[in-house]
A = this chain, B = another copy of it.
Amino acid sequence: MPGSSFGDLFQVTTFGESHGPAIGCIVDGCPPGYELDISDIQRELDRRRPGQSSVTTPRQESDAVTILSGIFEGKTTGTPIALMIQNATHRSGDYGNLKEVYRPGHADMTFQKKYGIRDYRGGGRSSGRETASRVAAGAIAKKILADQGVSLIAHTTQVGTIVAKTVDTSVIESNPVRCADPHVAPDMVKLIETLAQSGDSIGGAITLTITGIPAGLGDPVFDKFDAVLSHALMSIGTIKGIAFGSGFGAVTMKGSEHNDVFEPGDENQVTMKTNHAGGILGGITTGADVTCRLAIKPPSSIAKTQQTVNRSGEAVAIDIRGRHDPCICPRVVPVVEAMAAIVTLDCLLKQRAIASK
C-alpha cells in the first residue's frame, strides 16, 4: 500500500536506491515445490544490466544476485524469497552537483515535493536501477509460468521513426536493440548511436505477447487482466502509454470490424481468427495471446546543457555528467516481461482459488 509492493497472492516488495548499499526484493507467496536455481534469476538480470552493448550505457555493473531465504535444497518452500543485489560502486561524489538542482524529465523535483527530502545520488529510489529488483522477482514468476506452458516475450518494435515490419522472436536476443525484425535492427542501432554522439536520446515502442495463457484470468470489475497489467507496466518509469490488441487503432474502427468472430476450435474450445481484443474480453483472458504495445519515452539524461531551476527556485543551467542510455528500449524489454510475469502468475493463483474445489 505505501507503494513498494505489487501483487495479491504472489506479492513482490522491493527496496533500494541507486547509491545505497544494495537493492533487492522479497517475493512472498511463491508456490512451494518448484525448482529454482540462482542462474534462473541471474540470466534475466544479465539481460537488463548496463554495459551489455554499444547502444546501452557503458557503465559496467555485474548485478550479481544473492538468495537470502525461501529456497531449500533447490526448491521453493512457499516462504518469502529475499533477493539482494549489492551496489558495486558508490561514486556519490559524481552527484554532488545535483544536490540542489532539479534535472528536467527526472523525479528530483517531485520527490522533493512529496517527501521534503531526497537521496539525490543518481536519482536515489527514482533511478531506473530499481527495476533490477523487478527483473529478479519476475524471473521467479517466469520460471513457474514456463512450467505451465506460459511464455512472455517482449521486443522493441520501434525506435524513433524506424518501425519493425516482421516478427522473428528467435533473433531478439541476437541484436543489441532486442528487435524481432533482423532487417531494421541495424538501422535502429545506427540511429541510437548517432543520437548518442550528438548528446541526445530517442524514444521507442515495445510489444509484449503472452502466449499459452489460459482463459479465465483477471478479476472484474476493477482488477481486469488488462487493468492490472496496465498498472504493472505503467509503473515502469519510462513507459508513457499502453494499448491492447488493436489499441489506438480501435478509435477509427467500426464494431463490425473490431469484434473478433468466435469459431469452433479443437476439443470443444473456442477460437478467433482475429485478435483485435488483445486476448482479453471483459477483462478476462480468452486463451488467445495477450498482446499490448508500449510507448517508451526518450531517456531524460542527455549530455546537452539544459535550463532548469534549483531548490531555491532560481534559474540555473545543468550539465548531466555520467554515462547514460541513449535509448532505453533494449533494457526495458526484460523489465516488461518481468512485470507481466508477476501479474500473470498472481492472476493464475487467484483463479486456482475459485476454480478448484
Residues of B within 8 A of A205 (CB): 248, 251
Contact yes or no, A306 B68, CB < 8 A: no
Partner of A298, one of B23, B254, B300, B349: B254
Smallest CB-CB separation from A20: which chain B residue? B69
For residue A51, CB closer than 8 A to chain B, the reply is no
Number of residues from A at the complex interface, CB < 8 A: 153
User: Which of B6, B203, B240 is in CB contact (< 8 Å) with A244?
Assistant: B240
How many of these chains are in the complex? 4
Q: By the criterion CB–CB under 8 Å, are A28 and B4 in contact? A: yes
The residues of B that contact A260 with a CB separation of less than 8 Å are: 104-105
Minimum C-beta distance from A199 to chain B (A): 8
- Chain B residues contacting A234 (CB-CB under 8 Å) are 224, 226-227, 230-231, 242
Tell me which of A41-49, A54-62, A116-124, A176-184 binds B. Answer: A116-124
- A356: which B residues are within 8 A, CB to CB? 352, 356
Is A3's CB under 8 angstroms from B222's CB? yes
Binary B-proximity of A254-269 (CB < 8 A = 1, otherwise 0): 1111111111110011
CB distance from A284 to the nearest CB of B (A): 4
Which 4 A-B pairs rank lowest in CB-CB distance, beginning with the nearest?
A107-B282, A2-B29, A241-B243, A3-B219
22 contacts across the A-B interface (CB closer than 8 A): A1-B29, A5-B11, A24-B82, A78-B117, A78-B354, A106-B282, A109-B286, A111-B282, A113-B215, A113-B287, A202-B253, A203-B254, A204-B251, A240-B243, A242-B243, A250-B295, A250-B298, A255-B301, A261-B306, A263-B307, A264-B309, A265-B313
